[in-house]
Amino acid sequence: MILSIAWRNLWRNPARSLLTLLALSGGLLMLLLNAALLEGMKQQMERSATALTTSPLQIHRQAFIDSRDLYATLPWVYLDQLSQRFPLLKMAPRLYADGLASSEQSSAAAMIRAVDPVREVAVSELLRHLRSGEAKLERVVDTADGTVRDQVLIGTQMAKQLLLHPGDELILVTQAADGSIGNGLFQVAGVLKPIDPGFDRSGVLMSIAAYQELMVLEQGVHELAVQAPADALLQARIEQQLIALAATHPLDKLGGAARIRNWRELTPAVADIMEMSSAMMGVIGAIIITLASLGMVNTMMMSIHERTHEFGILLAIGMSRWRLLGMVLLESLLLALLAALCGSLLGSVLGLQLERHGIDFSAQLPDGYDWGGMVFEPVMNVDLQLQHIWSGSLMMITITLIAALIPAWRTLRLKPVEVLG
């Protein structure tokens, strides 16, 4: 009975109710699209951190973590033993160094990274993140003069700065581990898409064999990248295995102990940005819905003002004030539920469409864009989740009822004698 009365009262002024419905539905639609965009950005940030720049888990010596000590290496036996102990996990060795890269036209600082191509493809997408050329890190023979050269991959900005293209020659100069000057002539096999600003400007990727020859460093690796869930229990198990390995294969004290860290520890700035984006999602959503709910306040104030005489009659014939308040709030609830349904349907349709195709900025930003020290793909990911829909709808209904309660509270102060007199 009360429900049908509330529904009829709601449409006494259809234009006003429709405008309020559009405002609330539009607010929920904006909230859902904002949540989907932020969720897509978070996923892209995590993918960049775990699949391109680092990996879900990494193992280093403490001195390498603290100061990038060239001599703080893990013995190769650590990779063999850990691979045997955890056969389902994918692991890849990496080595690092700094140097100077030169072409015939210019020179630039070089961040050298060495990988095992076979193992690397199992833990990251780095070798598949190619812009031009081929993802080869092989040793090739020049048919013209018979010289042997190792192939390397370089960052996009380095290629532009040094005017290099696939097939060109690159000279690397660095200080080797034995104190000598390490230098070599390499062939650029390909150019990588932007990964992170630092590697994009000065990154050089080579094979471990080429690195060992250049750096005269064969006794170990600087990093073991592990493709595995960032699970605390698994991390603890690997930590225990590292302690056991240190007992059977002692490490020198200068390099420190072996430590395993997850990607959040490796890239705390990224983790902080992701947490901030989650908080921003809630704050922005509350602001959007609150602004949209102001229309509900206006609707209820006008409705109560126009129906003051009617409310006075209802009170005079015996309806309680609280029941009258409940009827007014029920009208607001019905309008909020209808807006939630419309906004959710529109948001789901548009969100799924954007999720399928993404938001493509390839024409304007072919190399992606740099934000917060990370490089994002030119196609922006969108991910609308079920929890966004129900939490956004619940937030809208709650805020709308609170907004409607302000004018509805006036019904408790109505006096039938004054209203009817």
- d(CA 232, CA 331) in angstroms, rounded, equals 50
Beta carbons of 127 and 135 less than 8 angstroms apart: yes
Beta carbons of 150 and 206 less than 8 angstroms apart: yes
- d(CA 329, CA 282) in angstroms, rounded, equals 25
Give the pair of three-digit tokens for residue 238: 């690997």
- d(CA 421, CA 193) in angstroms, rounded, equals 79
| Per-residue pLDDT tens digits for 200-243 | 889 999 999 999 999 998 889 999 999 877 677 888 888 888 88
- d(CA 391, CA 217) in angstroms, rounded, equals 55
Chain centre distance of CA 140: 39
Residue 362: pLDDT band with limits 50, 70, 90:
low
pLDDT at 408 over 90: no
- The residue whose two tokens read 């064969």 is 218
CB neighbours of residue 331 within 10 Å? 23
Can you give the residue ranges of every domain in the chain? 2-51+270-420, 56-266
Q: Are strands 203-207 and 107-115 parallel, antiparallel or unpaired?
A: parallel
Comparison of pLDDT for 266 and 123, the residue scoring more: 123
- d(CA 1, CA 189) in angstroms, rounded, equals 78
- d(CA 166, CA 194) in angstroms, rounded, equals 16
Give pLDDT, residue 372: 57
